[in-house]
Each structure stands twice: as structure tokens, then as C-alpha cells.
A and B are shown apart, each in its own frame.
Chain A
């Protein structure tokens, strides 16, 4: 049985066993989603959006779909993956199951809790009906697949006029309880008018076993609200991640999504912004640093539908060994979206002959009074700069790292949580195999 068949046939059992309310709206959303998935199947390289990323070898694995955790996971096992030196709310999932023991949730001024309770409790019915799967719907077969099995993940519901006092960390761990595991976290984030929240998300495999994560996050940003969402992708070489993030923004809101891809066998990011009002700002920042045979694919979309909005996109990539990257940045400026400011920049450095990047900026502009720009570069480290630095006593390896740090610095600079910035800087240094005597 191939993976698609296996997923489709286990759907009924999943719904029956899951203690899920079969009369609910959610049930019909799930049923439609699995039908869509059954019809579309997994994307192949024939699909224009998947031209440079193949799921073929990944789909050959015999994934266990509902893994059971066998080993107890304690705080000491997960500590190093948290940003520890800040106060935060934490939502920790082990093999797709919420760990209340390790987590720190709240219902005080806002809801920082789990999707399973949101989907089943009458209290949250309105929120679910209004938001759940409204942007992810009919987007692509992998999101449909996630929707069909959507059961657990983060549910963050911020009422209006609320500044969430500390960042929220969402961590998804897999323990490798079975040799090949597929997990499908589903997050729903609703941020009310004038509210502000910072979220840090990470997927981490604690074992050497194969893990495929197919995650979907929907983020709703109301009037004048501010959302900063940080994604740390630094998983093991047996872990693959398909991460779809959909952001819907109301007028005058500011949403920033930062994606740090430092590791994983295959990482595919679908990041999409939809505008539902004027004077919206969307920021997309990304930095990928890969080696060995790792692969990252960043597909982004900003859909400018209304006048006077802006988007700023900055993606950098450093590819060593035989690693490969894809950048596909689509910006649509619809006819009504006059006075749009849309900027996109994608810069890449190839460290070795075996590394490659496919970069494709796609600007589709239908309005005439707009400011749009895009730039894309692919280069190597400058030998004369390296010699210059070496001649001042800086060894080649450190010289390279310094140049690469400088290259990625404008992305790192955008991190608004200082402790996170320090952590990301350290992760970058670790990836480049150096210790730096100062902070950028």
C-alpha cells in the first residue's frame, strides 16, 4: 500500500477513534479535505510549484501515522531546544500529542492552549467556525491532507487590545518511537485588534529515525495588530518538513514571518500572505544555511489586493557541499492595489561546486501606480576579500564565516527578541563551524 492509500484508508478510523464530534462543522471540513487529497494526491515534479523539489523518495517510507510515545520525555530532554533565558508560554507536543506536563499555557488574558480543545469545546465554536481552514482551504493537496487529520497543535487566541506579555514557544518533538513517523501539527492563531504577539516555532526530531512533518498554520491578524512569527528549522538529517503558513491581514496590521532553515533532509516552506484591508505591512525574512545533501525550498506569496499596502521580502541562502535550494517568490499586485510598495530581495552564496540554487522571482503587477522591485543574486565568496582578511591574521575558515555572517546579518538584525537573536547567531556560528569573538 502506498502512503496515499494508507492515509486515505486510515481516515475513517482516525475520525471514529479520535473522540471527535462527527456532526460538527469540523467533520465536514475534514471529509472534504480528504476527498480533495484523494483526488489530487501528493504533488509531483510535473507540478509547476514542485519542479525542483521531489517528494518521491520520502513517500516510499512506510510511515506510522499515529505514533505512540514509548519513552517518557522529560524537561531535560527538550530544554536545549527552548529559548530558555526568557519568560515564555510554551506549548510542547511529543509525537503529535500535547504534553501538559512540559507546557506552560494560559487562559488569563488570552488563550494559549491546544487546538484539540478548541475544536471540541462549545466555548470556542465561534472562533473555529470563523477561522479554521478558511485560508488553508483549497490551497494545495498537502494542506488538505493536514486538514483531514487536523486534531492537535497550537491554538492561540488573543482578544483585542492585548499585548501578550511574553513570547509563545511552540515545539513539536518526535521521539522516534517507531522507525518512520509522520506527524501533522495544525496551528490556529487569531490576533485581535490592536493586539501584539510574538511566537517562536520549532520542529525537532529527538531520534535518528525518519520523520516527516506536514504542518499547517493559519494566522489571522486583525486591525492594527502586530504579529512576529519566528520559525527555527534546524532538524536532523533524517527529518523532513513541509510547512505551510497562511497569513490573513486586516487593515493597518503588521505581520512578520522569519524563517531560519539550518538543517533537515528536505524542507519545503509555503508562506502566503493575503491582504484584507489597506495600509497593511507584511515582512518575510528568511535565511537558509545548508550543507551535505540537504534541501530547502522556499515558496512565498504576497497577494496585494488593496491600495496602500507594503511588503518587504528578504531571503538569503548559503549552500555548501551538495546542498540545494529553491527560492520562488511570488508577488501579486492586483488592479485595485494602487500605491503598493513591494520589495523583494534574494541573495545566495554557493560555497562548493556541488551546491545549487534555483531562484525564481515572480512579480505579477496589474496596477500602474506602484513601487515594486526585486533583486536576485547568486555568487561565491570573494577570494580577494578572503586574502585580505587572511593577510590580517584571520584564518580562512574564520574569514569565510565572517563574510557569511556579514552576508546574513541584515536578516538576523530583524529579530526583535534579543535572546532569540543570540540563539540564532549561535546556531549560525555552529553551522559554519566557528566561534566568534563578538556579537553582530
Chain B
């Protein structure tokens, strides 16, 4: 589904990604771990199409289509979703209006009619219930004044609404308490099927107890220095990253 080959990317002429190779197939869960500043968020932003990053070499291919020339919204329409490590506050736009717009713009791009208001409402309620989000929450300005955990839960709510093909969860676990972590992980697992894939970025094993990865990769200084099965996460938790340098 997603194929990243020899990806180099820089920002302000500073090279951050230094030759990344990664293959993700439908139905798989991949986890990326790695020390602060190693380039995990950069990789997710580059996949999502953030324009500030310059891809200097290599390619990102989704379902045999090179994403290079696609704007972030076009990538979203093709099924890429990024749950932000630091979700942005959008004052004055309610959660409901935001997600409605996102859904209908995506439908428009696919040549579908807008979702009828009744169906939209039903869908919103269903997904809010799945993530145990209070209805009152939905009429608040998006992320404005949300607690860290609320922001993350809201990201997964949006993911549940958009049903992406490839979901990238950038430190979705940070800021979540134990109960919330279970709810969010459960939400992700409910959406998981043989046709989609998840890329989880995390520092902690505990999320991977709930969202169990097929592969774990270690990103270090802009490169994937080690890949393995889920037991690699346990090993990292025990030993840290020093032994990989």
C-alpha cells in the first residue's frame, strides 16, 4: 500500500530524513520508535504532504501512485490520515462543522454528493459514542482549550469519521490517561481491517499492548536503523537506544 524508498527530506536546508525505506502492506500495523528529534514527526509530515519540507531524494508511493506532486488535501482524499502529535487549535470552528466540512470535501473530491445532514448527524453520534466523547464537546471550537488527552481523543474521533486507508498516529498515546488510552486503542482496533493499515509512532510499549504491531522500526538520526517484530519494542523499553548507535 505505502512504499517509501530512499526518502531524504530537509527543512531550511537542514537534512532531517536521510534515506528512509519502509513498506507497509494492507492489513498491517507498523510502529516507529526512536529518540527525540530523530525525525519521526518529520516523516509523518512528509507523508501527509507538508509543504515546508523539501523532498530532496527518494519517493513516497501510495497504491502505486507517487505522492510527490499532491497537496495535503489530495493525499487525504486518497486515504492518508495523520493524527498530529500537537493538534492545532482552530478557534471559532466547532468540532462538528470542521468534521462535516472534512467529510463533504472528501466526498466531493471523490465525485460523491454531500452526506445528507441526517446521516452526518448519525455518523457523528456513532463515532463520538465509540470514543466516549461527550456530545457537548462537539459544539466547542476545535481543540481550543482542550486538554492534552482531549485533543488526542478528538484526533481519533476524526480518524473514525474519515475512515482512512493509512492512519499515522504520531504519539497519540502521550497525554492520555490509562482509561483514555484503552478507549482510543479500542477505537483504532475497531476500525482496523484487512484493507487498511496503521503506522503508530510512540515512545512507549504500553500503547503497543493494545494496538499490537506486526513490525517495529527504530528511527535514529533520520534513518531506520533496525526493524523487527513486536518483541523489539520490549527490548527497546528495557535497553533504550544506546546499543543501536
Asked if A165 lies at the interface with its beta carbon under 8 angstroms from chain B, I say no
Among A51-59, A132-140, A354-362, A378-386, the stretch that binds chain B is A378-386
Among B102-110, B130-138, B220-228, the stretch that binds chain A is B102-110
B92: contacting residue among A384, A387, A391, A405, CB under 8 A: A405
B100: contacting residue among A389, A405, A438, CB under 8 A: A438
Asked if A42 lies at the interface with its beta carbon under 8 angstroms from chain B, I say no
Instruction: Determine whether the beta carbon of A391 is less than 8 Å from that of B90.
Output: no
B143: nearest chain-A partner, CB-CB = A388
Instruction: Determine whether the beta carbon of A396 is less than 8 Å from that of B71.
Output: yes
Question: A385: which B residues are within 8 A, CB to CB?
Answer: 88-90
Q: What separation, in Å, do the CA atoms of A100 and B153 have in the docked complex?
A: 61
B73: contacting residue among A393, A409, A438, CB under 8 A: A393
Among B3-11, B44-52, B200-208, the stretch that binds chain A is B44-52
Question: A26: which B residues are within 8 A, CB to CB?
Answer: none
Instruction: Determine whether the beta carbon of A437 is less than 8 Å from that of B100.
Output: yes
Instruction: Determine whether the beta carbon of B88 is less than 8 Å from that of A406.
Output: no
Nearest-CB distance from B80 to chain A (Å)?
A: 8
Instruction: Determine whether the beta carbon of B90 is less than 8 Å from that of A398.
Output: no
Instruction: Determine whether the beta carbon of B73 is less than 8 Å from that of A406.
Output: no
Instruction: Determine whether the beta carbon of B109 is less than 8 Å from that of A393.
Output: yes
Taking residues whose C-beta sits less than 8 angstroms from the other chain, chain A's interface range is: 20 to 34
Q: A391-B82, A396-B73, A437-B114 in contact; A383/B101 too (CB < 8 A)?
A: no
Instruction: Determine whether the beta carbon of A395 is less than 8 Å from that of B100.
Output: no
Instruction: Determine whether the beta carbon of B88 is less than 8 Å from that of A394.
Output: no
A408: nearest chain-B partner, CB-CB = B92
Q: What separation, in Å, do the CA atoms of A235 and B33 have in the docked complex?
A: 58
Q: A398-B105, A402-B101, A409-B92 in contact; A393/B77 too (CB < 8 A)?
A: yes
A390: nearest chain-B partner, CB-CB = B72
A393: contacting residue among B87, B89, B106, CB under 8 A: B106
Q: A406-B92, A407-B92, A409-B92 in contact; A394/B102 too (CB < 8 A)?
A: yes
Taking residues whose C-beta sits less than 8 angstroms from the other chain, chain B's interface range is: 35 or more
Instruction: Determine whether the beta carbon of B105 is less than 8 Å from that of A388.
Output: no
Question: B71: which A residues are within 8 A, CB to CB?
Answer: 390, 395-396
Asked if B97 lies at the interface with its beta carbon under 8 angstroms from chain A, I say yes
Asked if A392 lies at the interface with its beta carbon under 8 angstroms from chain B, I say yes
Segment 403-440 of A: residues with Cβ below 8 Å from B: 403, 405-407, 409-410, 436-438, 440
Nearest-CB distance from B232 to chain A (Å)?
A: 29
Q: What separation, in Å, do the CA atoms of A406 and B140 have in the docked complex?
A: 12
Question: A399: which B residues are within 8 A, CB to CB?
Answer: 73
Nearest-CB distance from B46 to chain A (Å)?
A: 12
Question: A394: which B residues are within 8 A, CB to CB?
Answer: 73, 101-102, 105
Nearest-CB distance from B227 to chain A (Å)?
A: 26
Question: B106: which A residues are within 8 A, CB to CB?
Answer: 393
Question: B104: which A residues are within 8 A, CB to CB?
Answer: 437
Question: B102: which A residues are within 8 A, CB to CB?
Answer: 389, 392-394
Instruction: Determine whether the beta carbon of B88 is less than 8 Å from that of A395.
Output: no
Question: A395: which B residues are within 8 A, CB to CB?
Answer: 71, 73, 105
Segment 11-38 of A: residues with Cβ below 8 Å from B: none
Asked if B55 lies at the interface with its beta carbon under 8 angstroms from chain A, I say no
A406: contacting residue among B80, B84, B87, B93, CB under 8 A: B93
Question: A393: which B residues are within 8 A, CB to CB?
Answer: 73, 76-77, 102-103, 105-106, 109, 162
Instruction: Determine whether the beta carbon of A438 is less than 8 Å from that of B90.
Output: no
B159: nearest chain-A partner, CB-CB = A392
A392: contacting residue among B91, B97, B98, B114, CB under 8 A: B98
Q: What separation, in Å, do the CA atoms of A303 and B142 have in the docked complex?
A: 39
Question: A437: which B residues are within 8 A, CB to CB?
Answer: 100-101, 104, 114
Instruction: Determine whether the beta carbon of A438 is less than 8 Å from that of B105.
Output: no
Instruction: Determine whether the beta carbon of A438 is less than 8 Å from that of B97.
Output: yes
In the complex, given contacts A389-B90, A410-B92, A437-B100, what are 19 additional A-B residue pairs having Cβ atoms less than 8 angstroms apart? A388-B84, A388-B90, A390-B72, A391-B49, A391-B81, A391-B84, A393-B106, A393-B162, A395-B73, A395-B105, A396-B71, A399-B73, A402-B90, A402-B98, A406-B91, A406-B92, A406-B141, A409-B92, A438-B97
14 A-B pairs whose Cβ atoms sit less than 8 Å apart in the complex:
A382-B88, A385-B89, A390-B49, A390-B71, A390-B73, A391-B76, A391-B80, A392-B162, A393-B109, A395-B73, A399-B73, A410-B92, A437-B101, A437-B114
Q: Which 9 A-B pairs have the closest CB atoms?
A: A406-B92, A390-B72, A393-B76, A393-B106, A388-B88, A392-B102, A390-B73, A395-B73, A406-B93
